[in-house]
Each structure stands twice: as structure tokens, then as C-alpha cells.
């Protein structure tokens, strides 16, 4: 099975140890020894699942995640759900007891063959190996190779279906381990090729007439195509910070403010990706009087107003653009733009021979240096420190919404688990992205910006085997001692203060420095913008945790 996956293009295997999956694990180790895959071992199946998810997000090729039977399989469900909703390729290989031990109370056994039903692109409950090939001749490799090739194709997206998770349930009878037969392991990797994500019914691109007053909205995972269409149509571009499209001359800064002012005049919206970060965008896409054209992306289809047209591709009809429409949006964009970066030093004042001028400039510079970091400054600093060879991962915390409000345009690779927008698995996903993006000695740093609760929810992802090479990864935690995102929701205005703090804000006082030391991560606590800029831009030999205290 694993040999077939390698021939079909799989290059990464993530596994958690267990008894019933030991044969798969040993074959994976042999594949690593032969240089055919990169193997990543994680003791926690939830961490393993999100690590594989991160690899799939970065490469577009599924990683195979291996686990044993029982509750281990259930721990893969959060990653599988995110992969399903976000359209990320993922392969789940779950060890299992043989059919005769299911449903009779056997240890560590449940009905896991259909555990991911409704989420996976395909699922196969394989026969036990001795039923596939009773004589042990290796004839099973033909059948398993076909199953493996089909699984990889389904995970990458075939026949118009989006990419997503695939489940292969692998039962085994005792003995569970033995010598690895020579025919069992692939001898050479296959050609990855292109994913068949075509839609046979798509036909020609949908033609966008120039008449309606149009904007382009780029949600999570929209990619550069949204900016390209906005440029082609000369239409305003509303791009979330997690879209990968937040750049270009059509970009609308401070888009929430602009949408409140100019949104009522919009007649048509072309949507790429999955918008989730602002109520203004959701309200616009929910209006019955707005024509919504949703360009199919990697995740599930969008239809907030019940009349959305879903298309595979779009193009703009020839003709003159509505220059007045675009100019109105760009004027509003200039007025709404936010700049929270520190002011430049007063060079003339610092060089002045007039004492009060020089002292005033020095005092102003000291105030900048000593200014504490707030959420806007934190988001701005991380955004400015990141470049195209880096990767930036946002957690589903308050900070991603702050970043969406304040940072400017910049063409950098951005990731976020916005398929379901859960806080789980953020660090593990980033670790997978770092592993994939830094393969073969590639430059760059993977930065993760998240809140303290999202960090603590995935703290197990900090545990990495000493045998594996360290990735360059910075986990930047905005620590305000709890879930302040709930302070911005309706519950904060109606709940008893003590009850709200206990069950929504959920205060915590964890010593992050001690956690970092326990897991072997470098640690820095920074309180000023100057310190933060220095830490973010210093050389990055490996793993570091940066704590930024924030007020509630």
C-alpha cells in the first residue's frame, strides 16, 4: 500500500506509534531509509493529522498519516474536517482489527471503517493481507497499487470534485510484524504529475459583462487569481489577510469602512476563496439584490444568498472599464487606510544644533522605542517581517481579525485553517508547512501568529523527535490571559461578568517560558515594538517561541 502511494506521488508520511499499525510504520521507516519519503513521527494523532494537513496545504500533494486503531482514529477527525471544508489533500491510513473482532468487545476495537463518512472523498476498508494474497507471492501489489493510485487521485481532486481527505482502513491479523518482503516496498518514486481537478461540465469560462458595478472579494485561499481578475476588470479588490491576494493597485485598504460606505451601491460580487473574517463582507454576500459569482476553489462551494452562481473560471468581456466606479473606491481606500508602523526618526531634529530641537527629537525617539506592543502593532510587525520566501500562518484568534483591519498590501504566502475556523491544530499545521516549504534547503521562515488559547490548545505540537531536523519556525503568541475574542461578541453585553470570564474568557496563567524550556524551544518575551522587530528579523537557526504580553 505505502509503496503504491509513493509511486502515485506521496513524498511525506506522518505517523503516530501503535500496535495495529506497526507493519505500516516499519514499511514507512524502510521507505525513509531508501530515500523515497520523508518520515515525521508524532506521538499525538491529532498533531499528526494537522501536520499532514499543513504539508498538503503547502504542496498540494497529500501526505499520508498513519495511526493505530480505536480512539487514535477519532483523533484524526478534526484535521479531516478541516481538509474537507478547505479542500486540502490528505490521506488517512488507519490500522484496524480484522472484521471478526469488530463489534464483540475486543480491545481497542470500534467500527472505524465508516468513521469519516460524509467527509472523505473516498474510503476503502481493505481486506486483511492474508486474504489479499494467501500464498504470500506479492500478487497483491497490483491490486493495492491500483487502490493507492485511486486514493491519491481522489485526495488531489478528480472528476470535478474538490481535493480533500481520503480514508484507507487497513486491518491486520496477528502476527503484526515480520521481515519486510522485497516486493513490498516501491523501488522508485513516481511522477507526481498534475492533479485532475477539471470539471467535465465546466465548458468555457463564464464571461463577466462590464456593466454591473462590480467588486472582487478574496477570502481564505483565494490566491493570486483574485488580484489578476480585479486588475483585468479594473474592479476594486476586497482581500482578506488570509487570502493570498492582498496586493496590487486595485486593493481596497480599510475595506470594512469602505464597504459600509460604498457597499449599498454594489450590484455584483465575484468571489474567490472562502470569506470569513468580516461581517460587512458576509452581509454583502447575503443580499438578495446582489449577483454573486463564486469561482470554484479548493474548498466547499459558497452560496450565502441562495442565488449564487458557481463557476469554474471567469473572464472579462472586452470593453472600457468603469473608471469612475474604481476611482470612487480607491479614494475611499486612501481615506480608510491604517498605518500603525512607528514614525520615522526626525533626522533633522536629531542632527540639529539647537538644544531644544535636538532634545525633542531624542525624546520622541525614546518614546517610540519604549512604546508597548498592542495587537495592531504586533500584527503589523509580523506582516512587515515576512517576505515571499517565508510563510505566514494565522491562528483562528482575535489577532487575525486585527491583522485583517490594519495591515497593508504585500504579496506573501499566507496560510490559515479557515475551512472551519477552529483553533485546534494551528501549530501542527504550521509545522507541516515549514517541513514542506523548507525542503531541499529552501530559504525562509514559517511564522505563526496566534492567541494564547489557540497556542495552548495545540501545545502538544511543540514536541518534536530529536532525530528529525529542525525547521525554521517562529510561534508568536499574543498573550492576553484568555479568550478576549469573546469580549467582542454579543455574549459580553448580556452575560454576568463572572460567568462570562469563567466560561467564555477562560482566563489562564501558564508560564510559557517554562513550556518552551520543557519542549526545547528557544524563548523570548518582548514588550516593545523595537524588541519585537529585532527578534523577528534576527537569524533563525530553528524553533523559537515569542511571547508578547497584551492587555485584555
Examine the pLDDT at 198 and tell me if it is beyond 50.
no
Rounded to whole angstroms, how far apart are CA atoms 121 and 159?
A: 11
Task: Encode burial over 237-259: b for 16+ CB neighbours within 10 A, e otherwise.
Answer: bbbbbbbbbbbbebbbbbbbbbb
CA distance 96 to 21: 7
Please choose, from the candidates 73, 157, 76, 147, the residue with its C-alpha nearest in 3D space to the C-alpha of residue 108.
Answer: 73
Mean pLDDT score, 258-278: 97
Of 8-22, 362-376, 423-437, the one with minimum mean pLDDT is: 362-376
pLDDT of residue 365: 78
Q: Does 317 score more than 60 pLDDT?
A: yes
Q: What is the percent of the chain with per-residue pLDDT over 90, rounded to a whole number?
A: 69
- Asked if pLDDT for residue 520 goes beyond 80, the answer is yes
Q: Which pLDDT does position 116 carry in this prediction?
A: 95
Task: Report CA-CA distances (Å) from 280 to 219, 256, 260, 264, 407.
Answer: 13, 6, 7, 11, 18
pLDDT of residue 200: 42
Name the residue among 319, 285, 320 with its Cα closest to residue 305: 285
Q: Which CATH superfamily includes the segment(s) 2-175? A: Thiamin diphosphate (ThDP)-binding fold, Pyr/PP domains (3.40.50.970)
- Domain extents for the chain? 2-175, 206-336, 375-549
DSSP 264: G
Q: How high is the pLDDT of residue 185?
A: 55
| Interval 11-34: pLDDT, tens | 999 999 998 899 999 999 999 999
CB neighbours of 251 closer than 8 A, spacing ≥ 6? 227, 237, 239, 333, 409
Whether the predicted pLDDT of 453 surpasses 50: yes
Q: How many CB atoms within 10 Å of residue 188? A: 8
pLDDT of residue 190: 58
pLDDT band for 177, please (50, 70, 90 cuts).
low
ω into 462 cis (within 30 of 0): no
pLDDT band for 348, please (50, 70, 90 cuts): confident
Taking the CA atoms of residue 323, residue 326, residue 330 and residue 336 in that order, the dihedral angle to the nearest 10 degrees is 150
Query: ∠ CA 4-6-12 to the nearest 5 degrees?
Result: 135
pLDDT, the chain, mean? 90
pLDDT at 184 over 60: no
Using 50, 70 and 90 to split pLDDT, how confident is the model at 354? confident
Q: Can you name the residues that pair with 92 across neighbouring β-strands?
A: 65, 167
Within a 13 Å sphere around the CA of 243, how many CA atoms are in the beta-carbon half? Answer: 32
Task: Give me the mean pLDDT over the 149-157 stretch.
Answer: 95
Question: Regarding the domain delimited by 206-336, which CATH topology (the fold level of the hierarchy) does it fall under?
Answer: Rossmann fold (3.40.50)
Indicate if the pLDDT at residue 338 is higher than 50. Answer: yes
Assign 492 to helix, strand or coil. Answer: helix
Determine if residue 306 is left, alpha or beta; phi over 0 gives left, psi from -120 to 50 gives alpha, anything else beta.
left
Residue showing cell 495591515: 407
DSSP state letters, 306-363:
S-PEEES-EEEPSS---HHHHHHHHHHHHHH----SPPPP-HHHHH-SSHHHHHHHHH
Residue 21 three-state SS? coil
- Per-residue pLDDT tens digits for 209-240: 999 999 999 999 999 999 999 999 999 999 99
**Fold matches, 2-175 and 375-549:** yes
The CATH homologous superfamily to which domain 375-549 belongs is Thiamin diphosphate (ThDP)-binding fold, Pyr/PP domains (3.40.50.970)
Residue 23 CB-half CA count within 13 A: 25
Given a cut of 60, whether residue 183 has pLDDT beyond it is no
> What is the predicted pLDDT for the residue at 531?
94
Question: How large is the average pLDDT for residues 303-320?
Answer: 92
Pairing of strands 391-394, 446-451: parallel
Which of the residue ranges 40-49, 130-139, 371-380, 502-511 would you say has the lowest mean pLDDT? 130-139
Amino acid at each position: 500500500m505505502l509503496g503504491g502511494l509513493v509511486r502515485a506521488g506521496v513524498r511525506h508520511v506522518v505517523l503516530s506509534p501503535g500496535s495495529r499499525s506497526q507493519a505500516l510504520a516499519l514499511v514507512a521507516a524502510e521507505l525513509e531509509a531508501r530515500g523515497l519519503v520523508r518520515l515525521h513521527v508524532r506521538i499525538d494523532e491529532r498533531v499528526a493529522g494537522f501536520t499532514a494537513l499543513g504539508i498538503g496545504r503547502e504542496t498540494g500533494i497529500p501526505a499520508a498519516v498513519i495511526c493505530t486503531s480505536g480512539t487514535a482514529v477519532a483523533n484524526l477527525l478534526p484535521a479531516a474536517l478541516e481538509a474537507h471544508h478547505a479542500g486540502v489533500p490528505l490521506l488517512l491510513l488507519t490500522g484496524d482489527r480484522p472484521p471478526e473482532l469488530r463489534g464483540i468487545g475486543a480491545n481497542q476495537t470500534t467500527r472505524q471503517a465508516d468513521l469519516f463518512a460524509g467527509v472523505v472523498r473516498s474510503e476503502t476498508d481493505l481486506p486483511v493481507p492474508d486474504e489479499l494474497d494467501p500464498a504470500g507471492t506479492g500478487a497483491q501489489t497490483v491490486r493495492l497499487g491500483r487502490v493507492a493510485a485511486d486514493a491519491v487521485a481522489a485526495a488531489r481532486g478528480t472528476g470535478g470534485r474538490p481535493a480533500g481527505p481520503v480514508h484507507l482502513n487497513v486491518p491486520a491479523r496477528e502476527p503484526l510484524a515480520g521481515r519486510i518482503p522485497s516486493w513490498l516496498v516501491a523501488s522508485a518514486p513516481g511522477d507526481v504529475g498534475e492533479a485532475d481537478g477539471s470539471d467535465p461540465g465546466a465548458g468555457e469560462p463564464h464571461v463577466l459583462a462590464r456593466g454591473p458595478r462590480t467588486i472582487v472579494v478574496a477570502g481564505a485561499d483565494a490566491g493570486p487569481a483574485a488580484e489578476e481578475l480585479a486588475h483585468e476588470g479594473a474592479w476594486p479588490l476586497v482581500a482578506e489577510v488570509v487570502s493570498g491576494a492582498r496586493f496590487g493597485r486595485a486593493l481596497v485598504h480599510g475595506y470594512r469602512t469602505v464597504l459600509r460606505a460604498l457597499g449599498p451601491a454594489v450590484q455584483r460580487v465575484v468571489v474567490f476563496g472562502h470569506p470569513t473574517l468580516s461581517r460587512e463582507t458576509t452581509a454583502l454576500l447575503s443580499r438578495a439584490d446582489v449577483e454573486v459569482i463564486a469561482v470554484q476553489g479548493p474548498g466547499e462551494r459558497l452560496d450565502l444568498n441562495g442565488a449564487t452562481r458557481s463557476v469554474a473560471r471567469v473572464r472579462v468581456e472586452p470593453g472600457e472599464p468603469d473608471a469612475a466606479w474604481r476611482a470612487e473606491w480607491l479614494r475611499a481606500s486612501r481615506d480608510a487606510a491604517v498605518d500603525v508602523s512607528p514614525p520615522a526618526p526626525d533626522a533633522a531634529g536629531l542632527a540639529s544644533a539647537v538644544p531644544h530641537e535636538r532634545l525633542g527629537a531624542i525624546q520622541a525617539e525614546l518614546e517610540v522605542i519604549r512604546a508597548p506592543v498592542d495587537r495592531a502593532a504586533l500584527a503589523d510587525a509580523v506582516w512587515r517581517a515576512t517576505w515571499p520566501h517565508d510563510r505566514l500562518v494565522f491562528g483562528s484568534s482575535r489577532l487575525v481579525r486585527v491583522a485583517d483591519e490594519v495591515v497593508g498590501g504585500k504579496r506573501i504566502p499566507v496560510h490559515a485553517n479557515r475551512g472551519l475556523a477552529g483553533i485546534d491544530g494551528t501549530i501542527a499545521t504550521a509545522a507541516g508547512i515549514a517541513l514542506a516549504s523548507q525542503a531541499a534547503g529552501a530559504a525562509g521562515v514559517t511564522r505563526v501568529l496566534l492567541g494564547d488559547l489557540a497556542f495552548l490548545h495545540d501545545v502538544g505540537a511543540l514536541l518534536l523527535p530529536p532525530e528529525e531536523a529542525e525547521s525554521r519556525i517562529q510561534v508568536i503568541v499574543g498573550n492576553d490571559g484568555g479568550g478576549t475574542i469573546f469580549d467582542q461578541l454579543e455574549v459580553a453585553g448580556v452575560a454576568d461578568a463572572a460567568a462570562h470570564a469563567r466560561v467564555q474568557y477562560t482566563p489562564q496563567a501558564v508560564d510559557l517560558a517554562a513550556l518552551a524550556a520543557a519542549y526545547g524551544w528557544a524563548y523570548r518575551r518582548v514588550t516593545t515594538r523595537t524588541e519585537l522587530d529585532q527578534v523577528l528579523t534576527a537569524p533563525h537557526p530553528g524553533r523559537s517561541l515569542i511571547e508578547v504580553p497584551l492587555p485584555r
